[in-house]
Structures are given as C-alpha cells and as structure tokens.
Amino acid sequence: RQIPTPAVWQSPDYGPVWLRSRAPVSSLLGLGPHSLLDQLVGDVQTHLDEMERMRHSLLLAYPLLCGEAEGSRTPRQSSQTLAEGAGKEPGSQAQGKERYQLSMDVSGFSPAELMVRVDGRKLTVTGKHEKKTESEAGVRSHEHREIRRETLLPEDVNVQAVLCSLSQDGQLCIEAPRAVPPPPPPPAAPFGWGTETEIPSLVTGWSQP
C-alpha cells in the first residue's frame, strides 16, 4: 500500500501553505544504508522547511486577524464626567482666599494630547492618546486611550485668567485667581425716636389763601 502523492493546501487569504506527505514505503526498499540515511535526512529537512513556511504564513496572517478583531471592538476609553450638583470633583482642590487650585491625574498623556476648555463656569479637560507599534516579526499593536473630565468653577473664580501646567508625574494643575469682591455698602445713618434731626425745608414761602 502506498501513501498518496504530495498534497498542497492553499489559503485563499493568507498565501500558500504547503503540506507534503511522506514518500511511499516502496520507494525506500532496496536502498543502501547511505542512501537510506540521506533520504531520511532529506525528509527531516523537508519537514523543517515546511514548518518554517507555515510559521512565516501565520506571522503574515496575524496582523490581519488582529486588525479585524480591533475593528469589531470599541476602543478602550477612560472617561469621567461630573455634572452640576454631583457633589464630587475630578481631582483634589485647594481652597485659598486669593487663588483657586485644582489637580487632576492625567498620567500617560503629553501636553500636546490634552485640551482644556472653559465655557462660562464649566471647565472641561479632554485627552486622546494613540500609539502604533510594529515588531520585527511584523506583529502590529494599536493603543488607544481617551479621557474626559468636567467640573464647575466656583462663582468667585476669574474664568478669564485660568492657567494650566503639567508636571512630570502626570498631574495637571489648574489655577485661577479669585475675583475681588465688591466693597460693602456704607452703614446707614442711625435714626431713632426721641432725637432731633434737622431736615432741610423745601418750602420757600406760604401761599395766600
């Protein structure tokens, strides 16, 4: 009984992958020791070459498979939104008499990837980070992160003078001076019963009946 002739399987998407069957047993009969050894060594080398080609084909197909998987999933997002009346703030605040300070943790984002907007008393911090890498074997990776944080500035903060700075440890510091309150009105003059107060008369004369 002979094993069928070498078979070939070809993937329609990722290129050919060759699968060869062993040589018929009848072809090995009648060979000398050296010829038989050479035949076995050749078969082993052939299988090694086939495994190498299969490994290479899988490496070529892996990025395509990952791309399809990434396209069907929603990118990971880190989001935190605080509306008015929530009672919490996205970070630590320092309540000073002259300046307002707010600190947020935005580790992993560069200054070019962050944006701070002020709309009335609403302060919004957004960030978007994307990183694509490719290894020597052709494997690609895509990292995507987003951040969004909102807070309401106190009423006594000067929203026209908001300043932002980013530290090396990823802390975003937001500062703004507090508005100078208007001076209090002067106290009213005391007026009580039993005291005489001169009131200028507006009457210039008496009219004759």
Does residue 12 fall inside a structural domain?
yes
Same domain as 158, residue 97: yes
Does residue 29 fall inside a structural domain?
yes
Count of domains forming the chain: 2
| Tokens 């009580």 sit on residue | 192
Please enumerate in sequence order all residues whose Cβ is within 8 A of that of 13, keeping only pairs 6 or more positions apart, or say none.
61, 64
Give the count of alpha carbons within 13 A of 183, CB side only: 3
The pLDDT of residue 173 is 92
Q: Is 194 left (phi over 0), alpha (psi -120 to 50) or beta?
A: left
The DSSP output letter for 178 is B
Whether pTM > 0.85 for this model: the answer is no
Phi/psi of residue 140, each to 5°? -105, 145
Does residue 86 fall inside a structural domain?
no
Does residue 205 fall inside a structural domain?
no
Does residue 123 fall inside a structural domain?
yes
Does residue 172 fall inside a structural domain?
yes
DSSP 146-206: EEEEEEE--TTB-GGG-EEEE-TTSEEEEEEEBPPPPPPPPPPPP--TT-----------P
Last residue of a domain, one of 20, 37, 71: 71
Least confident of 21-25, 73-77, 133-137, 159-163: 73-77
- Whether residue 195 is predicted with pLDDT greater than 90 in this model: the reply is no
Domain hosting residue 152, numbered range = 92-177
Residues 64-123: tens digit of each pLDDT:
666 544 444 444 433 333 333 333 445 666 666 788 999 999 988 988 999 999 999 999
Same domain as 111, residue 64: no
Same domain as 158, residue 103: yes
Same domain as 153, residue 121: yes
Same domain as 66, residue 110: no
Same domain as 171, residue 140: yes
Same domain as 128, residue 98: yes
